[in-house]
Amino acid sequence: MKFAKIIRFLAPVAYLFASPSAPVSYAQSQTTRAPSSQLNLEAQPPQTNAAGHKIYRFDIDATKQWLDTGIDVRGGEKLRATGSGKLTYPPAGKNPDERTFGPDGLPRGWADIIHDYAVPDGNHGELIARVGSGDAAQPFSLGLTKDFTVPVAGRLSIGINQSYKDASAAKGNFHVTIEVLDPGSSTAAAMAVGGPAETKVAGVTPDLLSSIPRRISDKQGNLGDMVNILIVGTKEQLLHAFSSAGWVRVDSDVQATVIAGLIDTIQKKDYLTMPMSTLYLFNRPQDYGFAHAEPVRVAMSRNHLRAWQSAHTIGGRHVWCIAATHDIGFERDERNNGVTHKIDPEIDKEREYVNDTLSGTGLIVAREHIAPPDPLTEARTATGGTFRSDGRILVLVLDNTKSTTTTTTTSSK
């Protein structure tokens, strides 16, 4: 079965479960996915425990998805979150009884395969958190208790891993204690909100930029998406950075899609790794594909990119070429009258989404927006769609000192 046929099959299913107003732009789709926080105006001032640590206490009502704690944290700050209390969901659908649970939430069930939870693989209704309020802020599970290190500076929010529908009928509240185990340093880097400040990246020369094609192509040589990001790092560092930012490796073929989709369904997980088409740079297919998607819209709407390792190196590490776009629906493929994904024509928004998600991991040590000698500002994709850009390329340099086998958060459950 060809990929186009799978898309035709999945499209009506995706639209069935998506919200009534399907996203038509990047901003609209991101707004529906990330509800804004509500400031906790009744928060008590911090106290100090016997160990000399600051203690903050909050209540988050069952009818909320996010609560702005009002705490501005810095990069490297170590915190401990502890939850208590109970929430109750009323009878609904195939659940004829009330369900009452604590901060660990409810075990995942079949109904959780299609949902819009902030932490896709987290328990239903569990206590969660995020640093930063933007669309790119990566939520993570807290549960009953968790020690974690803040990757970059930002505003701390706590939340409940539930949908709008859940929140509209839920009762109860969670009580949350935040203990500052280590306030971290007060350096400029630790205080930089959202990642490092813009700076000149050594080694990115006009000659290097001139040697990298501005666009990728399909197998027939039709020019397509723009190369809009360069990343400096090893293969292991690249994979670790995207994984830490919540991006998933995309399956490379349809057979893998069917098998992985079946396995993930059986395990009650979200299947986010639907394959993307093979495109070419340097006369070869992409080395990796990554996606960042809302599960219920994965067939029709996802942030995605392709990565190629170039022959160039900076400081002994490879320069990776990235073509990033945001799928917002389907359109006619002008090459064959088939069905293909439609991208948001304002592709700079996707460039900045990648910038924000990766920079939020604390694994980016330098970044710069740079205009190449022959900037591309407007063109058509290989399938016939149009896109626009300011022509700049984002350069990201990955941290060369942190291990790729550890994560930025550790649980003490």
CATH number of the structural domain spanning residue 61 = 2.60.120.430
- Asked if 43 and 13 sit in the same domain, the reply is no
Residue 159 located in a structural domain? yes
For the ranges 79-93, 258-272, 372-386, which has the lowest average pLDDT?
258-272
Residue bearing tokens 């098998």: 259
3-17 and 254-266 helices, crossing angle to 10°: 30
Give per-residue pLDDT as tens, 17-45.
333 333 332 233 333 333 445 655 455 68
Count of domains for the chain: 2
- Asked if 240 and 385 sit in the same domain, the reply is yes
Q: Taking residues 374-392, what's their average pLDDT?
A: 87
Q: Provide the pLDDT for residue 344.
A: 86
Domain edge (last residue) among 160, 192, 224: 192
Residue 406 located in a structural domain? no
Give per-residue pLDDT as tens, 276-297.
789 999 999 999 999 886 544 4
26-33 and 348-359 helices, crossing angle to 10°: 30
Residue 404 located in a structural domain? no
Compute the distance between CA of residue 315 and CA of residue 200 in angstroms, rounded to an integer. 15
pTM above 0.95, yes or no: no
Give per-residue pLDDT as tens, 138-157.
999 999 999 999 999 999 99
Confidence of residue 335 (pLDDT cuts 50, 70, 90): low
Percent of the chain scoring above 70 in pLDDT: 73
Q: How big is the chain, counted in residues?
A: 413
328 vs 347, more confident:
347
Residue 42 located in a structural domain? yes
Q: Are 317 and 234 in contact (CB under 8 A)?
A: yes
- Locate the DSSP E strands across 21-165: 38-39, 47-48, 54-61, 66-73, 78-89, 99-101, 127-131, 140-141, 145-149, 154-160
Q: Strands 393-398 and 229-232: what pairing?
A: parallel
Nearest residue to 297 via CA among 4, 5, 11: 11
256-269 as b/e, with b when 16 or more CB fall inside 10 Å? Answer: ebeebbeeeeeeeb
- Asked if 284 and 183 sit in the same domain, the reply is no
Residue 247 located in a structural domain? yes
- Asked if 88 and 236 sit in the same domain, the reply is no
Tokens representing 276? 């993307």
- Asked if 221 and 267 sit in the same domain, the reply is yes
Confidence of residue 5 (pLDDT cuts 50, 70, 90): very low
Q: Provide the pLDDT for residue 303.
A: 86
Compute the distance between CA of residue 151 and CA of residue 196 in angstroms, rounded to an integer. 11
Residue 309 located in a structural domain? yes
Q: Taking residues 299-304, what's their average pLDDT?
A: 67
Amino acid letter at 12?
P
Give per-residue pLDDT as tens, 94-148.
778 899 999 999 998 766 655 678 888 899 999 999 999 777 899 999 999 999 9
Domain edge (last residue) among 141, 158, 192: 192
Domain edge (last residue) among 129, 161, 192: 192
How many CB atoms neighbour CB 88 within 10 A?
14
Q: Are 412 and 147 in contact (CB under 8 A)?
A: yes
Residue 236 located in a structural domain? yes
Q: Are 100 and 88 in contact (CB under 8 A)?
A: yes
Compute the distance between CA of residue 133 and CA of residue 138 in angstroms, rounded to an integer. 9
Compute the distance between CA of residue 217 and CA of residue 219 in angstroms, rounded to an integer. 7
Compute the distance between CA of residue 373 and CA of residue 137 in angstroms, rounded to an integer. 33
For the ranges 65-74, 245-254, 330-339, 389-398, which has the lowest average pLDDT?
330-339
How many CB atoms neighbour CB 148 within 10 A?
22
Helix (H) or strand (E) holding 364: strand 364-370
Residue 291: which domain range?
3-30+195-398
Compute the distance between CA of residue 402 and CA of residue 80 in angstroms, rounded to an integer. 22
- Asked if 276 and 294 sit in the same domain, the reply is yes
- Asked if 17 and 147 sit in the same domain, the reply is no
Q: Provide the pLDDT for residue 250.
A: 83
Q: Are 227 and 209 in contact (CB under 8 A)?
A: no
- Asked if 225 and 238 sit in the same domain, the reply is yes
Percent of the chain scoring above 90 in pLDDT: 57
Residue 182 located in a structural domain? yes
- Asked if 202 and 320 sit in the same domain, the reply is yes
Arithmetic mean of pLDDT over the chain:
81
- Asked if 100 and 171 sit in the same domain, the reply is yes
- Asked if 268 and 287 sit in the same domain, the reply is yes
- Asked if 373 and 247 sit in the same domain, the reply is yes
Compute the distance between CA of residue 293 and CA of residue 239 in angstroms, rounded to an integer. 17
Tokens representing 392? 């700049």
Confidence of residue 327 (pLDDT cuts 50, 70, 90): confident
Compute the distance between CA of residue 390 and CA of residue 379 in angstroms, rounded to an integer. 12
